[in-house]
């Protein structure tokens, strides 16, 4: 694996220290890291997976108001590809086949030269209605 930009290394380190579930991808959209709190919501362990963009955008089904979101509208994919933040609520199917409602804040990681280096999604599971 190629060396990641320092900004992604620092985001990964920060995520490892927080109790907020966090998912980090690189400029190609490939998984860099998700922390232990994210493991609980996603239903899989980080050490057990290596996911390219095409893998995680299809592995975790994402819907909003009962409608499955196309890949480009998945919050983290949107933040990465559009270079804009995304804030809202979605339902995801975890690695164990359970639907979970989450609040998501996804945003691009932008370097000093204004280039997009990757993206981050922070999320919180909502209690059932």
What are the pLDDT digits (tens) for 82-103?
999 999 999 999 888 889 999 9
Nearest to residue 87, comparing CAs of 122, 111, 115? Answer: 122
Judge whether residue 45 has pLDDT over 60.
yes
How much is the pLDDT for 57?
83
DSSP three-state, residue 96: coil
- Domains, the chain: 6-125 (3.30.450.20)
Confidence at 112, pLDDT banded by 50, 70, 90: confident
Query: Mapped to the 3 state alphabet, what secondary structure does 105-129 carry?
Result: EEEEEECCCCCEEEEEEEEEECCCC
Confidence at 16, pLDDT banded by 50, 70, 90: very high
Judge whether residue 2 has pLDDT over 80.
no
Judge whether residue 1 has pLDDT over 60.
no
Residue 13 phi/psi, 5-degree rounding, is -65, -45
């Amino acid at each position: 694996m190629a060396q990641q930009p320092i900004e992604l290394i620092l985001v990964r380190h920060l995520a490892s220290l927080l109790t907020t579930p966090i998912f980090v991808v690189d400029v190609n959209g490939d998984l860099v890291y998700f922390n232990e709190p994210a493991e609980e919501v996603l239903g899989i362990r980080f050490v057990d997976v290596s996911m390219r963009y095409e893998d995680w955008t299809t592995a975790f089904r994402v819907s909003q108001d009962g409608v499955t979101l196309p890949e480009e509208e998945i919050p983290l994919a949107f933040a990465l590809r559009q270079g804009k933040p995304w804030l809202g609520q979605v339902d995801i199917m975890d690695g164990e086949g359970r639907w979970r409602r989450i609040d998501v804040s996804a945003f691009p990681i932008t370097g000093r030269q204004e280039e997009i280096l990757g993206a981050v999604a922070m999320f919180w599971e909502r209690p059932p209605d």
